[in-house]
């Protein structure tokens, strides 16, 4: 496979490249553009013109520098061994393959896709989506040899994108609907995915029927199909083995998987908790589940929400805290589909601990949540700060209110707070992993026998109290 006719270099080393607003020539999709999508469809060979790239709307050279445009990417593929279940898995590779191009930054997936083209790439001659289409076609066929033919269609015109966008939304809904038909106890195999390790080296997703991948793109059926056709690929089988805690979703097989795939950094995961041994988060999560200590409840904010969440933080600030492959109790990357799972963060109290979410998310998941709870969950339209949220929860008699008395009692009883002035704290040996640019492995800094001087140390317990269903 050669890219000698492409004016910029192409390869995995460019994955992870960041293009800031000042460096970009144009932006395609993203939170400020209404309709955008990416979709892969499996077709019959006779329906494909192998190597064909079609552009509906302005091409890159017709776009105004510094502007934003819609982007629809439809990749159609054919091959004897292909089946519909593989579409979502192929679709996730759009992210990876676009990022192989030096000068393109691709984020997210499905209808949240977001791309930037750098000024440098444009000046070097990367001025047509035809070039990107050719890169995608060559990479799809080379990296996934079961794909024998491929064609790509781009939509950049706000009118032309409408019909394919609606089609894509219906297909995503159909996939999600099917995913809701089975549960973890119905299967004897889970799946893992390490596609995001170039961005988050210690992250690996564990995909189960009740916990769709946090990017929302790969459900249990998709992962099963991918592991079947390429068992040594980035999506692989994870035998759950012994269930150590049903409520937490702790399985010895999942712990072994994460220990191996995070190179020993993480050795324990509770699949259904955002507070204790939470699932790691890369950076592709559709939403963040965050703890709100002031009300002992949880909020959910999705990446399309461009305001400030009820805790005073925008999505971007919480995303920095959540992602990177860390286990961050209180901030957990989740998919929208997982929110409607009956096992949603059940170890922390489940869906009944959710007190706030953006209106758009509530509209999307409301039909699948307990109907008596839905009117009790506040959105940005009803409350603007924590004081208003407290009032709302009391007024609506949200189930979280029952935990407040218990919480206060516990706080009075427990002398949990510890404070010391001017402390020198021996930290022993501390390690931190710095991811490499473009997935080049990165490096680890180890501070041996370090001591940290702090003016005061305050230790506060932040785990939720009184809502666990045992
Ligand atoms: S978020 Fe998880 S499932 Fe989705 S591509 Fe990344 S590693 Fe795979």
Q: Give, using CA atoms, the residue closest to atom 4 of ligand 1.
A: 215
Q: Give, using CA atoms, the residue closest to atom 2 of ligand 1.
A: 205
Confidence of residue 462 (pLDDT cuts 50, 70, 90): low
The pLDDT score that the predictor gives to residue 455 is 59
Q: Is the CB of 60 under 6 A from ligand 1?
A: no
Answer yes or no: are the C-beta atoms of 249 and 206 closer than 8 Å.
Answer: no
DSSP β-ladder status, 72-78 and 37-42:
parallel
Average pLDDT, integer, range 199-219 = 94
The answer to whether residues 171 and 193 belong to one domain is no
| pLDDT(227) > 70 | yes
Ramachandran quadrant class, 454 (left: phi over 0; alpha: psi -120 to 50; beta: rest) = beta
The answer to whether residues 295 and 352 belong to one domain is yes
Candidates 190, 212, 218: which one to mutate for ligand 1, based on the most atoms within 8 Å of Cβ? 218
| pLDDT(465) > 60 | no
The pLDDT score that the predictor gives to residue 451 is 56
Question: What is the 8-class DSSP label of residue 78?
Answer: E
The answer to whether residues 112 and 151 belong to one domain is yes
Candidates 197, 214, 234: which one to mutate for ligand 1, based on the most atoms within 8 Å of Cβ? 214
- Rounded Cα–Cα distance for residues 340 and 343 (Å): 8
**Closest C-alpha to 273, from 467, 79, 100, 418:** 467
Q: Give, using CA atoms, the residue closest to atom 1 of ligand 1.
A: 215
Which of the listed ranges 128-132, 174-178, 193-197 does the model predict with the highest average pLDDT?
128-132
Average pLDDT, integer, range 29-48 = 95
The answer to whether residues 261 and 394 belong to one domain is yes
Judged by DSSP in three states, 155 sits in: strand
Question: What is the 8-class DSSP label of residue 165?
Answer: H
The answer to whether residues 90 and 60 belong to one domain is yes
Of ligand 1's listed atoms, the one at least distance from the Cα of 235 is: 8
**What are the tokens at 304?**
């399309």
Domain that holds residue 268: 180-412
Assigned domain for 4 exists:
no
Q: Is the CB of 282 under 6 A from ligand 1?
A: yes
Ranking 132-146, 301-315, 410-424 by mean pLDDT, the lowest is 410-424
Confidence of residue 434 (pLDDT cuts 50, 70, 90): very low
**CATH at residue 157:** 3.30.1650.10
Q: Is the CB of 196 under 6 A from ligand 1?
A: yes
Assigned domain for 140 exists:
yes
The pLDDT score that the predictor gives to residue 447 is 56
Task: Please calculate the CA angle 237-242-244 and round it to the nearest 5 degrees.
Answer: 120
Assigned domain for 5 exists:
no
The answer to whether residues 27 and 76 belong to one domain is yes
Q: Which whole-number Å values give the CA distances from 172 to 218, 343, 401, in the listed order? A: 11, 21, 36
The answer to whether residues 206 and 340 belong to one domain is yes
User: Ligand 1 center to residue 154 CA distance, Å?
Assistant: 24
Other Cβ atoms less than 10 A from the Cβ of 335: the count is: 26
The strand pairing partners of 459, in sequence order, are 418
The answer to whether residues 354 and 435 belong to one domain is no
Strand order in the sheet with 24-29: 68-69, 24-29, 114-118, 104-107
Answer yes or no: are the C-beta atoms of 107 and 113 closer than 8 Å.
Answer: yes
Considering only residues 128 and 453, tell me which one the structure prediction assigns the higher pLDDT. Answer: 128
User: Ligand 1 center to residue 214 CA distance, Å?
Assistant: 7
User: Ligand 1 center to residue 47 CA distance, Å?
Assistant: 30
Q: Is the CB of 88 under 6 A from ligand 1?
A: no
Of ligand 1's listed atoms, the one at least distance from the Cα of 284 is: 1
HEC secondary structure over 271-316: CCCCCCCECCECCCCCEEEEEECCCCEEEEEECCCCCECCCCCEHH
Q: Is the CB of 40 under 6 A from ligand 1?
A: no
Q: Is the CB of 92 under 6 A from ligand 1?
A: yes
The answer to whether residues 247 and 106 belong to one domain is no
**What are the tokens at 50?**
């192998």
The pLDDT score that the predictor gives to residue 285 is 94
The pLDDT score that the predictor gives to residue 304 is 87
The pLDDT score that the predictor gives to residue 467 is 47
**pLDDT tens track for 248-287:** 999 999 999 999 999 999 999 999 999 999 999 998 899 9
Of ligand 1's listed atoms, the one at least distance from the Cα of 216 is: 4
Confidence of residue 100 (pLDDT cuts 50, 70, 90): very high
Assigned domain for 466 exists:
no
Q: Is the CB of 36 under 6 A from ligand 1?
A: no
**pLDDT tens track for 376-419:** 999 999 999 999 999 999 999 999 999 998 777 766 665 445 55
Q: Is the CB of 287 under 6 A from ligand 1?
A: no
- Rounded Cα–Cα distance for residues 328 and 412 (Å): 27
The answer to whether residues 219 and 330 belong to one domain is yes
Q: Which helix (H) or strand (E) holds 139?
A: helix 129-143
Assigned domain for 245 exists:
yes
**Closest C-alpha to 280, from 356, 353, 211:** 211
DSSP string, 86-106: GHHHHHHHHHHHHHTBTTEEE
Q: What percent of the chain has pLDDT over 70?
A: 87
| pLDDT(431) > 50 | no
User: Ligand 1 center to residue 220 CA distance, Å?
Assistant: 12
**What are the tokens at 425?**
């704290």
Q: Is the CB of 205 under 6 A from ligand 1?
A: yes
Assigned domain for 400 exists:
yes
| pLDDT(459) > 70 | no
Assigned domain for 469 exists:
no
Total of domains in the chain: 3
**Closest C-alpha to 186, from 209, 212, 220:** 209
| pLDDT(437) > 60 | no
Question: What is the 8-class DSSP label of residue 398?
Answer: -
Average pLDDT, integer, range 319-340 = 93
- Rounded Cα–Cα distance for residues 363 and 357 (Å): 10
Assigned domain for 3 exists:
no
- Rounded Cα–Cα distance for residues 377 and 382 (Å): 10
215: Cβ contacts below 8 Å, ≥ 6 apart: 92, 108, 109, 196, 205, 282, 284, 285, 286, 335
Positions of E strands within 96-170: 104-107, 114-118, 149-155
Confidence of residue 470 (pLDDT cuts 50, 70, 90): very low
- Rounded Cα–Cα distance for residues 393 and 401 (Å): 7
The pLDDT score that the predictor gives to residue 454 is 63
Candidates 89, 192, 217, 236: which one to mutate for ligand 1, based on the most atoms within 8 Å of Cβ? 217
Q: Among residues 176, 200, 233, which one ends one of the domains?
A: 176
| pLDDT(163) > 60 | yes
The answer to whether residues 267 and 397 belong to one domain is yes
The answer to whether residues 33 and 101 belong to one domain is yes
21: Cβ contacts below 8 Å, ≥ 6 apart: none
**CATH at residue 388:** 3.40.1470.10
The pLDDT score that the predictor gives to residue 405 is 84
Answer yes or no: are the C-beta atoms of 333 and 288 closer than 8 Å.
Answer: yes
């Amino acid at each position: 496979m050669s890219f000698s006719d492409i004016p910029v270099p192409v390869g995995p080393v460019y994955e992870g490249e960041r293009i800031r607003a000042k460096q970009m020539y144009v932006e395609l999709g993203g939170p400020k553009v209404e309709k955008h999508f990416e979709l892969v469809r499996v077709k019959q060979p006779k329906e494909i013109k192998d190597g064909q790239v079609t552009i509906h709307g302005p091409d890159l050279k017709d776009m105004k520098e510094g502007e934003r445009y819609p982007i629809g990417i439809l990749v159609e593929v054919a091959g004897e061994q292909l089946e519909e279940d593989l579409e979502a898995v192929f679709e996730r590779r759009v992210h990876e393959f676009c990022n192989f191009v030096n000068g393109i930054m691709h984020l997210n997936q499905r209808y949240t896709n977001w791309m930037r083209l750098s000024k440098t790439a444009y000046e070097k001659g990367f001025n047509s989506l035809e070039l990107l289409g050719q890169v995608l076609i060559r990479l799809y066929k080379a990296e996934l040899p079961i794909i024998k033919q491929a064609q790509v269609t781009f939509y950049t015109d706000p009118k032309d994108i409408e019909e394919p966008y609606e089609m894509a939304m219906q297909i995503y809904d159909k996939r999600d609907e099917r995913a809701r038909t089975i549960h973890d106890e119905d299967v004897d195999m889970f799946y893992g995915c390490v596609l995001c390790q170039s961005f988050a080296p210690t992250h690996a997703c564990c995909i189960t029927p009740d916990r769709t991948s946090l990017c929302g793109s790969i459900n249990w059926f998709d992962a099963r199909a991918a592991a079947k056709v390429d068992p040594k690929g980035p999506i692989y089988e994870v035998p759950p083995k012994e269930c150590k805690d049903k409520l937490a979703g702790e399985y010895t097989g999942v712990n072994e998987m994460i220990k191996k795939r995070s190179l020993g950094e993480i050795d324990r995961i509770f699949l259904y908790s955002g507070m204790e041994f939470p699932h790691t988060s890369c950076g592709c999560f559709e939403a963040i589940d965050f703890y709100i200590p002031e009300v002992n409840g949880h909020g959910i904010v999705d990446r399309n929400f461009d305001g400030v969440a009820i805790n005073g933080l925008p999505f971007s600030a919480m995303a920095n805290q959540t992602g990177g492959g860390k286990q961050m109790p209180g901030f957990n990357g989740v998919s929208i589909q997982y929110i409607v799972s009956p096992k949603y963060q059940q170890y922390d109290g489940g869906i009944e601990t959710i007190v706030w979410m953006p209106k758009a998310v509530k509209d999307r998941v409301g039909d699948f949540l307990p109907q008596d709870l839905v009117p009790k969950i506040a959105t940005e339209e009803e409350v603007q700060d924590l004081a208003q949220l407290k009032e709302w929860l009391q007024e609506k008699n949200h189930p979280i209110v029952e935990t407040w008395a218990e919480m206060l009692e516990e706080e009075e009883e427990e002398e949990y707070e510890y404070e010391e002035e001017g402390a020198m704290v021996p930290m022993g040996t501390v390690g931190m992993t710095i991811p490499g640019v473009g997935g080049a492995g990165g490096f680890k800094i180890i501070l041996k026998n370090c001591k940290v001087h702090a003016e005061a140390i305050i230790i506060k317990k932040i785990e939720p109290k009184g809502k666990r269903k045992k």
